[in-house]
Amino acid sequence: MMISRNIALIFVFSSIGASTGHSQSLVINEVLSSNANFDYDDFFQYDDWIEIYNGGGILNLAGYHLSDDPDTLNKWVFPASNPGLTTILPGGHMQIWCDDDEQQGEDHTNFKLSSEGETLFLVEPDGFTIVDSITYGLSQSDISYGRTCDGCDDWIYFNVPTPDAPNSIIELPASILYINEFQSNNSTTVFDENFHFSPWIEIFNPNDFQVNLSGYQVALNGSSHTFNNNQPWKTTIEAGEFQIFWLDGGTEIGSNHTNIQPNSSGTMQLKSATGSIIDEIEFDNELSEDMSGGRSIDGSPMWTTFAIPTPRVTNALQIIEPANVVINEAQSDNFITIADNAGEFEDWIELHNPTNSPIDIAGYYVTDRLDRPMKWQVQATAGDSTIIPPGGFVLLFADEDGGQGWNHMNFKISSLGEPIALRSPDGFSVADSLFLPSLIQDRSWGRQFDAHPNWVEFFMPTPNASNGANNVTEETSDFILVYPNPVPSGGTIYLLGATDIYDMHGRRRHSFNTGGVRSVDLPAGLYTLVDRTRRASGMSTVKLIVQ
C-alpha cells in the first residue's frame, strides 16, 4: 500500500479536504489518483496525475520535490534539464504524471498514486520545507479531487477533471438509467456496511460510461433524497453495471444511503439534477419476506418477482457454481516478502486448489468492495496460466497495474483491513471470502493449514507455497469457533459465543445469541460463521462445511 506508515506526521501536515494555508501562491491544486479512461500522456498511457497551480510570479520548479511519503519528502525532484516543462507562469497550471516512469520525461515522477488514499507533499529545494500538502481518501476512477477554485482552501470532487485548466464544475447531461430491482422486506438477502438488512433499490447503468448519481434524486410518496458527491465511489455506477442504494434513512452511514424509509406502496421516481424524470416504477411495500421485484430483463418494461433476488448483478443471472478453490493467504503490506514479475513488492492474494483435479479460474472475479462484486475479473485469454494444478497455488498481485500481467488486479489492499471475495464467472456466487484484518509490515493473514477453516497471522508468509504447520502467532493458534467441522446436515455443532451463519450468497440462515450446542438444519454446502464477540478483533469469521 502507498498509504503512509507515519500517521502522526500525516495529521501534522494535512487533513482530509484541507490544504496548509490560503496565503500560499504555489499549491497542489487537483489530483486524479485513478485515471482509467480520462486523459493520457504523450505515450498514450492513462496515468495518474497531480496538478500544481501558481498564483504568484513566474517560477521554475527545478529542484522542488513531490512526495507521497512523509519520511522521504525529497522522493522525486523536478529536473533542471528542461525549463520548458518545469517553468510555471503566473496563474498557470502544471500537470505532473505519477507513473513511476521518469524515462518518459521531466514531468513524470518516480512514484504512483494510490486509489486507496494517501498524503501528497510539494516540497522546497531544501528537501524538507513543505510548500503544500493534501490528504485524499478512497478514489473513484476518472473523478478528481481538487480545490473548489484555483488556490482556494476548500476541496471537492470533480466528475469532469480539469487538468491544465482552472478548476470549475462542468455539468454533465442526464444519463439513461433504470431502477432495475427493489426489495421492501429484506430479512436475510443482503446487508450494508453495518451488517443491517434494510430495503433497497438497484439502479442499472446501460451506458458505456460510468455515471455518478451526484445531484440525482429519488422520490417516493412525497419523500425525496438528493445524492451528494461526498463519496463518489459509493454513488458512481460503472458502465453496464448495477448498484444498490439503501432505503433506511441512514444518510450518516454513507452516500449510498437515502433518507427514504418506505411505509407504503407508491410510485418511485428517479430524477435528474434538473428535476426531469429519468425512470419511474411502482414500488410494492408488501412483497413477501426476502423476495424482490425486478425487470425480467435488465432495463426492459416487463416486471416480475424474484424468489432469489439479484442485488448488484443482472436480473437474467445464470448461476455458475464455483469450483472448490479457496483464498488461502493474503498480504497487505509487502516490503520484502516476495517480488512480482516486475521486481516490485506489491500486495497479494494467494488462491489454492485443494482438490485432485486442475481448476481454471479464468472468468472468476475478485473484489475488495462489497458494493462492487465484479471489480476485477481474471482474463479468459491468459491460456494455461489461469489453471491451478491439483494441490497448487497462484498469486494475484493487488497493485493497480494490469499492464504487468494477467494476475495483476485493479486494486490494492488496505493495510487497515478490508473484505476480499472470490466469485464465480457469474459475478454473484461466492467461491470464498474473508475479512483481512489490519496487519503490520511483512505479516500475512492465512489459513492455519491449506484450506483449513481457521485463519491466523503468519510471522513468515508462505506465498505460492503450503501454509504448512507451526507457523502461527502464539495468540491466535488456538482460535476455534465451531466444532465439529465438517458437520453432517441436521447435525449439531458447538459454538463459543453469539454467532450468525451465512450462506455463500450472503444470506443469513441462522442467528444464535449465545454459544453452546446448536442444531444445524442446513443443506450441504459451504457457509460462513460470524462470531459477533470477536468481530472487532478481525478473528470473527470461519468457514463451516455441511456434508
For residue 137, is it within any domain?
Answer: yes
Q: What's the CATH number where 509 sits?
A: 2.60.40
Which band of pLDDT confidence, cut at 50, 70 and 90, is reported for residue 363?
very high
Classify residue 142 as left (phi > 0), alpha (psi -120 to 50) or beta: left
- Give the domain-ending residue among 255, 278, 306: 306
Over 70: is that where the pLDDT of 538 sits? no
Instruction: Check: CB of residue 359 under 8 Å from CB of residue 323.
Output: yes
Task: Looking at the structure, tell me whether residues 397 and 486 fall in a common domain.
Answer: no
Task: Looking at the structure, tell me whether residues 500 and 387 fall in a common domain.
Answer: no
Query: Which pLDDT value is given to residue 505?
Result: 61
For residue 58, is it within any domain?
Answer: yes
For residue 419, is it within any domain?
Answer: yes
Task: Looking at the structure, tell me whether residues 236 and 131 fall in a common domain.
Answer: no
Most confident of 366-370, 469-473, 527-531: 366-370
For residue 312, is it within any domain?
Answer: no
- Give the domain-ending residue among 130, 158, 186: 158
Longest dimension (CA), the chain: 78
Task: Looking at the structure, tell me whether residues 435 and 298 fall in a common domain.
Answer: no
For residue 406, is it within any domain?
Answer: yes
pTM of the model: 0.75
Task: Looking at the structure, tell me whether residues 302 and 325 fall in a common domain.
Answer: no
**What is the residue range of 208's domain?**
178-306
For residue 223, is it within any domain?
Answer: yes
Measured CA to CA, the distance from residue 158 to residue 145 in angstroms comes to: 6
Task: Looking at the structure, tell me whether residues 426 and 532 fall in a common domain.
Answer: no
For residue 439, is it within any domain?
Answer: yes
Beta strand pairing status for 541-546 and 525-531?
Answer: antiparallel
Count of the separate structural domains present in the chain? 4
Task: Looking at the structure, tell me whether residues 403 and 509 fall in a common domain.
Answer: no
Measured CA to CA, the distance from residue 514 to residue 250 in angstroms comes to: 29
Task: Looking at the structure, tell me whether residues 134 and 192 fall in a common domain.
Answer: no
412-443 pLDDT, tens digit per residue, is 998 888 899 999 999 999 999 998 998 989 99
Task: Looking at the structure, tell me whether residues 246 and 280 fall in a common domain.
Answer: yes
Task: Looking at the structure, tell me whether residues 449 and 529 fall in a common domain.
Answer: no
Task: Looking at the structure, tell me whether residues 356 and 383 fall in a common domain.
Answer: yes
Task: Looking at the structure, tell me whether residues 487 and 472 fall in a common domain.
Answer: no
The sign one gets for the Cα dihedral 396, 397, 400, 405 is negative
For residue 170, is it within any domain?
Answer: no
18-50 pLDDT, tens digit per residue, is 333 333 689 999 999 999 999 999 999 999 999
- Give the domain-ending residue among 245, 278, 306: 306
Q: What's the CATH number where 345 sits?
A: 2.60.40.1260
505-526 pLDDT, tens digit per residue, is 667 788 888 877 777 788 877 7
